[in-house]
Amino acid sequence: MSELAVELSNVFKTFSASNARDVNAVRNVNLAIRAGEFFTLLGPSGCGKTTTLRLIAGFEQPTRGEVRIQGKPMNGVPPYRRPVNTVFQNYALFPHLSVQENVGFGLAIKRVSKEEKKKRVQAALDLVELPQAADRKPSQLSGGQQQRVALARALVNQPAVLLLDEPLGALDLKLRKNMQLELKHMQELLKLTFIYVTHDQEEALTMSDRIAVMSAGNVLQIGAPIEIYEKPATRFVADFIGETNFLNGRVVEMGTAMTGVEVTGKRINLPRQNEFPTNSVNVTLTVRPEKVGISRPESFADEAKRISFSGVIREAVYIGTDTRYLVGLSNAETLVARLQSSPGHRPGEYAIDDPVIVWFEPGDIRLLTE
Amino acid sequence: MRAQRYLSFGFAYYLLLALFLYLPILVLVIFSFNDSTLLVYPLKGFTLRWYSALLNAHELLDAVRNSVIVGFASSFVSVVFGAMAALAIARFNFPGRGFFLAISSLPLVIPYVVLSVALVLLFAQIGVPLSLFAVGVAHTVINIPYVMLIVAARLAGFEQNLEEAAMDLGATYWGTLMRVTLPIAAPALAAAFLSSFTTSFDEFALAFFLTGTENTLPVYLYSQLRFPNRLPLVVALAAIIMLVSVLLIIFSEWLRRIGTQTTPRGAE
Amino acid sequence: MENRSRITILMLPPALWLVLLFIVPLGIMAVFSFREGSFGAEREQFTLENYQHFFANRSYLNLLGTSAWIAFQTALIAVVLSYPLAYFLSFRAGEARVTLLTILIVPAWTSFLLRILSWKLILGSGGVLNTFLLSLGVIQEASPLLIYSRAAVVVTLVYVWIPFATLPIFSALERIDRRLLEAAADLGCPPWEAFLRVTLPLSLPGVIAAFFFVFIPTLGEWVTPALVGGAQGIMYGNLIQDQFVRALNWPLGAIMSLVLMALVLVILIIFNRFIRISDLAGA
């Protein structure tokens, strides 16, 4: 299916603060979320991801731009007339209603018949694996159970799109991991569009079909998890998702298939990156620590395309499966390398002040201008 | 657009009720400048004579003085006892705590007529004559619970570890109380005192039963309501008292903002 | 433990003070109710006569019933008028709400008697309202509008109590998590229905508290009826007052007070979980 569940076109949201300084919570956001997709809005707190979700839910109206759900313009449409439901950050369960009354809330408003309501509520509670909790009050449930009730309450209305605002934020780590998988399975089972807000990059990578990374109200990059991780579009994205290395460089040659860059006084050739603007001179090179290799100078095999620098081990931290090395380069820049403990590399193999060669494949390097 | 409409409708309702609540005060102030012995419409002309006549109204001024004395004395006792109880209640858990809270808040909700009667019987039994003293004692019974509420709210509002820090630095418990706890609670204590004072100053139902030959102001006012020709004088005094009350309340509200919560009280 | 001595030192004086001045007097009142005689405390003989008299004479309990009815009407009207006010303050007044609330409370701190006097000036036969209506030709002759009737008592008490009924309702509304209303809207609930399904039920404890904060003191009210009630408007509290001031039948007055106290305690116990005294301490 390629039809669009939710579209945001040139959406701006400005909050006027009382001290006369307006806050631009969302700036020129364009999203096209496909039906059946698990779409995640990822970013640090204050990046505008929750505001974006609230614009879709209808709790906020855009200052400029348009929101469409299933092709229908939603500007001016109140939340209670939108075909979406939300799982709130702290669940927002009605404390005066029992679990089944909470779950049946939306159906009661739609005047669904009693038997039908009862059937659907029970089915929703079964789906979230809380079949026995119907008569309890939210205050009698654990955080994880409340989370499931909130999910059932939203799902029972069979929304076109389910909006989830950091739904796992209040759960402990282990429960969180379980719920991540469960949510993903549920979404695949129901073939429902999920729009998921989180600040947890690992959660986003685990669950999403596509991720939109946001910062300061802007969408910086939209793509599948592997794209976001392997081909970050900006320095912010590279830095926010996982750990990475940055090196300063200068473009010295632009070939048809290759870009020549000077890094730490050394000329290297990288494959031409299509999305890279050709007129930039000063660039940042980024490479993930797990793509960085370390060898002793005497045993380093200088293969043709490999990029290598000589350096000195500054720090070695053993973290179980890996050892994390900080390597100082000749021009005072540093590189982090993560080497897995394996037959080829035993922990503690390199000691502080050991001279080494660090190296990586040209394809693992990204050129960034921002 | 929609919110605006609600707002203006709600605000209109608010203004209507505010007008309803302030109208009597306004009317009294207007009549206090009216050049006529009769409190009837239409107004006769502007005068300050009721205000100047106040200076010679000895009974009235005596009543004001009595009310001030009763107010100060009973508020002082209320604040001391109320603050002690608040310190215990806010910082310790002890058997009987809940029971004490329940009993001590009862004077806030039982009809004052029952309390008046009970105290009349008590004072008759132990031989205390009906007097300003009796009135002052009665006022402590209704004020201590309020003081407790105000001070306990303030104590709950600041971190207990300030006190622990003081003790960690070598202060004794009582030293900490004097140097840390009470100074921090000072705005609440002042607000509690003002609240007690205004309650006492305006309290009529208990004072009516318990006062002897000397009147507090409300009791005096009540006795004057039957003599219409003396009313303009009363009205002039009322205007002054209301002005002072409003200033006191604004002051105590200001204190409350520094401290914590506000405290209204019963009708009479 | 040293905490124990601290608690004792802090708690003992106020506790003794309140026991002496609140519990003991109630006990004395109970003892008095069994005493004979209608003139003071002279005759210390045990008798049940007073109780027989009280319960045989239906007019006493009837007046208590009437007073309860007046208190009920007063509390109901005060709550109904206060709710929209509290709702406006909590949901629509924004950052100004505490200031606006304080403005409402201020007149309630000024002299009760003088405000009642002022209402008599406004509503009485020579009063502002009558003169105004006469001059407009709305009415032909001055009438003591509303004064000296049961209705006057209710209106006056409602006036007195509105600020205090507003407080607990306002507190209850302030405690409602605003995201619950978003959740309701999200589940398809239009604002009016969200009010009925979420806001109103969640504010109900405050409404009940407000009701009883008005109802209970009004039950024993005697000053307002004495001032504006006339013969038609007297309440049970006037009866008690009369036993102590005019009839000087203290034992009968003691019984009347005990019956009132018992009624109040029953109400407090039944509705205990709704009546949060701390609500009286405001927002």
Residue among C177, C188, C198 minimizing CB distance to A106: C188
What does the pLDDT look like over B65-78, one tens digit per residue? 999 999 999 999 99
What does the pLDDT look like over B32-82, one tens digit per residue? 887 777 666 667 778 888 888 888 888 888 999 999 999 999 999 999 999
Rounded Cα gap, residues B156 and A230, in angstroms: 53
What does the pLDDT look like over A300-328, one tens digit per residue? 777 767 888 889 999 999 888 888 999 99
Which chain A residues are Cβ-neighbours of C184 within 8 angstroms? 80, 94, 105
Confidence tier at B1 by pLDDT (50, 70, 90): very low
Mutate one of C95, C177, C187 to test the A interface: name it (highest A CB count within 10 A).
C187
Would you kindly state where each structural domain of chain B is located, as residue ranges?
Answer: 60-261
Pairing of the two strands A245-254 and A218-223: unpaired
Overall average pLDDT of the A166-172 stretch: 86
Residue in the block written with tokens 């008697």: C113
Single-letter amino acid code for the residue at C266: V
Q: Show the domains of chain A with their CATH numbers.
A: 4-240 (3.40.50.300), 245-368 (2.40.50.100)
Tokens of A215: 């910062």
Domain range B60-261, CATH architecture: Orthogonal Bundle (1.10)
CB B118 within 8 A of CB C260: no
Q: Which residues contact B105 (CB under 8 A, 6 or more apart)?
A: B145, C277
The pLDDT, as a whole number, for residue C283 is 32
Confidence tier at A275 by pLDDT (50, 70, 90): low
Tokens of B82: 């109320």
Tokens of B81: 């006892």
Tell me the nearest-neighbour CA distance from A209 into chain C, angstroms: 25
Residue among C104, C113, C281 minimizing CB distance to B263: C281
Q: Which residue of C has its CA nearest to A110?
A: C188
pLDDT at A212 over 90: yes
How many Cα neighbours within 13 Å face the side chain of B138?
32
Pairing of the two strands A307-319 and A4-16: unpaired
Rounded Cα gap, residues A76 and A365, in angstroms: 46
Phi-psi region for residue C230, left (φ > 0), alpha (ψ -120 to 50) or beta? left
User: Rounded to a whole number, what is the distance in angstroms from the first to the last CA of chain A?
Assistant: 35
CA distances from C70 to B115, B266, C235 (A): 21, 18, 8
Tell me the nearest-neighbour CA distance from C134 into chain B, angstroms: 11
The pLDDT, as a whole number, for residue B2 is 44
Least confident of A48-52, A274-278, C28-32, C147-151: A274-278
The chains in contact with chain B, meaning 3 or more Cβ pairs closer than 8 Å, are C
Residue among B27, B122, B267 minimizing CB distance to C121: B27
The pLDDT, as a whole number, for residue B32 is 82
Residue among C18, C167, C264 minimizing CB distance to B104: C18
The chain-wide mean pLDDT, for chain A, equals 88
The pLDDT, as a whole number, for residue A1 is 44
Q: Which residue of A has its CA nearest to C179?
A: A92
Which chain C residues are Cβ-neighbours of B264 within 8 angstroms? 105, 108-109, 163-164, 167, 280, 282
Other Cβ atoms less than 10 A from the Cβ of A206: the count is: 15
Other Cβ atoms less than 10 A from the Cβ of B124: the count is: 16
Q: What are residue A193's DSSP bridge partners? A: A161
C179 at A interface, C-beta within 8 A? yes
3-state secondary structure of C139: coil
Single-letter amino acid code for the residue at C220: G
Phi-psi region for residue C222, left (φ > 0), alpha (ψ -120 to 50) or beta? alpha
3-state secondary structure of C138: coil
3-state secondary structure of C35: strand
> Which of C64, C85, C113 lies closest to C218 in space, CA to CA?
C64
∠ CA(A294), CA(A296), CA(A300), 5° rounding? 85
Q: What is the DSSP letter of C21?
A: I
| Contact criterion met (CB < 8 Å) for A110 and C95 | no
List of chain C residues with pLDDT < 70: 1, 37-44, 125-128, 141-147, 274-283
Rounded Cα gap, residues B15 and C118, in angstroms: 20
Pairing of the two strands A22-34 and A4-16: antiparallel
Tokens of B259: 């401290």
> Which of B91, B261, B251, B245 lies closest to B188 in space, CA to CA?
B261
CB A163 within 8 A of CB A85: yes
| Contact criterion met (CB < 8 Å) for A80 and C180 | no
Residue in the block written with tokens 């006492």: B200
Residue among C179, C189, C202 minimizing CB distance to A96: C202
Tell me the nearest-neighbour CA distance from C18 into chain B, angstroms: 7
Residue B11 burial class via C-beta count within 10 angstroms: exposed 0-12, middle 13-18, buried 19 and up: middle
**What is the value of pTM for the model shown?**
0.84
For residues A202, A207, A213, A219, the Cα torsion angle rounded to the nearest 10 degrees is -170
Which chain C residues are Cβ-neighbours of A110 within 8 angstroms? 188
CB pairs under 8 A between A and C: 64
Tell me the nearest-neighbour CA distance from C279 into chain A, angstroms: 20
Tell me the nearest-neighbour CA distance from C173 into chain A, angstroms: 14
Tell me the nearest-neighbour CA distance from C183 into chain A, angstroms: 7
Q: What are residue C113's DSSP bridge partners? A: none
Tell me the nearest-neighbour CA distance from B25 into chain C, angstroms: 7
CB A229 within 8 A of CB A205: yes
pLDDT at A362 over 60: yes
| Contact criterion met (CB < 8 Å) for C278 and B122 | no
Rg of chain B on CA atoms, in Å: 22
pLDDT at A49 over 90: yes
Residue B31 phi, psi (nearest 5): -65, -25
Confidence tier at B262 by pLDDT (50, 70, 90): very low
Q: At what angle do helices C150-175 and B2-32 cross, to 10 degrees?
A: 140
Rounded Cα gap, residues A107 and A338, in angstroms: 53
Query: Residue-wise over C128-163: b if at least 16 C-beta within 10 A, else e?
Result: bbbeebeeeeeeeebebbbbbbbbbbbbbbbbbbbb
Q: Which residue of C has its CA nearest to B251?
A: C106
Which residues of A lie closer than 8 Å to C, measured between beta carbons?
Answer: 18, 57-59, 78-81, 84-86, 88, 90, 92-96, 105-106, 109-110, 153-154, 157
| Contact criterion met (CB < 8 Å) for B17 and C81 | yes
Which chain B residues are Cβ-neighbours of C85 within 8 angstroms? 13-14, 17
What does the pLDDT look like over B9-19, one tens digit per residue? 888 999 999 99
Overall average pLDDT of the B206-214 stretch: 90
Residue C3 phi, psi (nearest 5): -55, -35
Q: At what angle do helices C150-175 and C200-219 cross, to 10 degrees?
A: 140
The pLDDT, as a whole number, for residue B258 is 63
Tell me the nearest-neighbour CA distance from C63 into chain B, angstroms: 15
CA distances from C268 to B102, C209, C263 (A): 11, 10, 9
More confident residue, A149 or C47: A149
Interfacial C residues in 1-60 facing A (CB < 8 Å): none
Single-letter amino acid code for the residue at A147: Q
Rounded Cα gap, residues A25 and A12, in angstroms: 8
The pLDDT, as a whole number, for residue C144 is 58
Q: Show the domains of chain C with their CATH numbers.
A: 63-113+146-282 (1.10.3720.10)
What is the 3 state secondary structure string of chain A?
CCCEEEEEEEEEEEEECCCCCEEEEEEEEEEEEECCCEEEEECCCCCCHHHHHHHHHCCCCCCEEEEEECCEECCCCCHHHCCEEEECCCCCCCCCCCHHHHHCHHHHHCCCCHHHHHHHHHHHHHHCCCCCCCCCCHHHCCHHHHHHHHHHHHHCCCCCEEEEECCCCCCCHHHHHHHHHHHHHHHHHHCCEEEEEECCHHHHHHHCCEEEEEECCEEEEEECHHHHHHCCCCHHHHHHCCCCEEEEEEEEEECCCEEEEEECCEEEEEECCCCCCCCCCEEEEEECHHHCEEECHHHCCCCCCCEEEEEEEEEEEEECCEEEEEEEECCCCEEEEEEECECCECCCCCCCCCEEEEEECHHHCEEECC
pLDDT at B266 over 50: no
